[in-house]
Amino acid sequence: MRLVRLRRRAEDQGAAAGLRPHLAGPDLLEEALASLTARPGRAVLTALGTVMGVAALVATLGLSKTAGNQIVGRFDALAATDIVVAPKAAAAGRATSAGGLPWDAEARVTRLNGVVAAGSLSDVDLRGDLIRSVPVNDPVAQTEFQLPVKAASPGLFQAVRAELAAGRLPDAGHSARADRVAVVGSNVAEQLHVTRIEDQPAIFLGDRLYVVIGVISGVARQSSLLGSIVIPEGTAGRDFGLAAPASVQVETRIGAANLIAGQLPLALSPTDPTLLKVTAPPEPRRVRAGVQSDLNALFLLLGAVSLFIGAVGIANVTLVSVLERVGEIGLRRSLGAARRHIAGQFLLESTTLGLLGGVLGAALGTLVVVGVAASRTWTPVLEPWVPLGAPLLGGTIGLLSGIYPSVRAAALEPVEALRSTM
């Protein structure tokens, strides 16, 4: 009998050594989900903080991206297609004959594939002459002005996207015949008493009479044109000794600016391209990055604050849940649960809540981005990792906020836990 008992004891010792508790993954998941679905209303309300936080984060990231894209989009339309070519300072000093731009600059540039419009533009030196409008018998009114006069090739007006208030623009014929015609910017038209183009108003540049044939009301580039008097290049060459165009204004197709900028010097000055200075738009990508980093910093801060509030919410409710379920914790311990199983279940519950909040928040945030973009007729832009990473972020928030309540739950003594009623 003693032998039998000894053998049994040995067997039992061996069995006890293998008697660690074991909780299967599916079982743990089932328990956590069952606890959450037991109080669905509370689960949703608990996740609400994370929903709002994640939604705010996704929406702000998406909107800043969308808005940033929109701002850059406006830049692109003008700045990214704008090229100005001028002789370098040294070449300009020698001026005139050798180093300057050719008279047929407009034709040479327009031939390049990718150029939408081009024209040359020069300042005209009146050598101290003043500009007079047709004398009006008003002794008080000023009649003589010092105003900038510019010479332009016909294509320039298209290259700066000039809009006419009245009249017409000078054409190649005016330049070839050196006609004394001018267009004036809307800012100076009033000063010069140019009101009705039909009356063929005249102005004097020095003592030369020019007929005003048009008034420019707006330009997209070279805004100084609105305060200037513009005459054809050929006229400027004959009347004021303009030796060569001072600059060429080019509008390219979107995306072609950098290529054209490289080709221009060769097209305009094949003998010595280095004499020309090309002002091309900056790399568009860099502009975009600059605009967005500013916006993102503010928006991300807002999102982080809302997420923190969400995390505190989950931690709080999970802690309340632990205190409410003291009896359940004791029961589970009596059924063989180790402390780690208790902690694991509460951690999984809070993580699931966070994950749920993350999924809902990502959906809500994406809807906000799409809604705002639609109302402003913008293109909604969202990095793919934002809606995909949002549930992950929510889960992490849930996990972190569950740590303290889980530790509290695991530390409960089953003895005390079982005394409480459920």
Work out whether 411 is an interface residue with another protein (CB under 8 A): no
Single residue of 271, 274, 377, 421 touching another protein by CB under 8 A: 421
Work out whether 136 is an interface residue with another protein (CB under 8 A): no
> Considering beta carbons, is residue 279 or 334 the nearer one to another protein?
334
- Rounded to 10 degrees, what is the CA torsion of 104, 107, 108, 110? 150
Rg for the chain, CA atoms, rounded: 39
Single residue of 3, 20, 41, 271 touching another protein by CB under 8 A: 20
Q: Which two tokens stand for residue 295?
A: 């916006």
Q: Which two tokens stand for residue 417?
A: 């836990």
Sequence-distant (6+) residues with CB within 8 A of 35 are 321, 325, 345, 349
Single residue of 89, 136, 140, 335 touching another protein by CB under 8 A: 335
Is residue 196 within 8 A of residue 157, CB to CB? The reply is no
Q: Which two tokens stand for residue 126?
A: 């009146």
Helix axes 284-324, 40-78, angle to 10 degrees: 170
Q: Where are the alpha helices (DSSP H) in 79-178?
A: 89-94, 105-110, 156-159, 172-177
Work out whether 41 is an interface residue with another protein (CB under 8 A): no
Site track for another protein across 199-238, x = CB under 8 A: ----------------------------------------
Binding window for another protein (CB under 8 A); candidates: 6-14, 94-102, 147-155, 389-397:
6-14
Work out whether 33 is an interface residue with another protein (CB under 8 A): no
> Considering beta carbons, is residue 1 or 140 the nearer one to another protein?
1
Work out whether 414 is an interface residue with another protein (CB under 8 A): yes
Work out whether 331 is an interface residue with another protein (CB under 8 A): yes
Work out whether 106 is an interface residue with another protein (CB under 8 A): no
State how far the Cα of 171 lies from the Cα of 162, in Å rounded to an integer. 14
Largest CA distance in the chain: 143
Work out whether 341 is an interface residue with another protein (CB under 8 A): yes
Q: Beta strand pairing status for 276-279 and 208-218? A: unpaired
Residues that bind another protein (CB under 8 A): 1, 4-5, 8-9, 12-13, 16-17, 19-24, 26-27, 31, 34-35, 38-39, 327-328, 330-339, 341, 413-415, 418-422
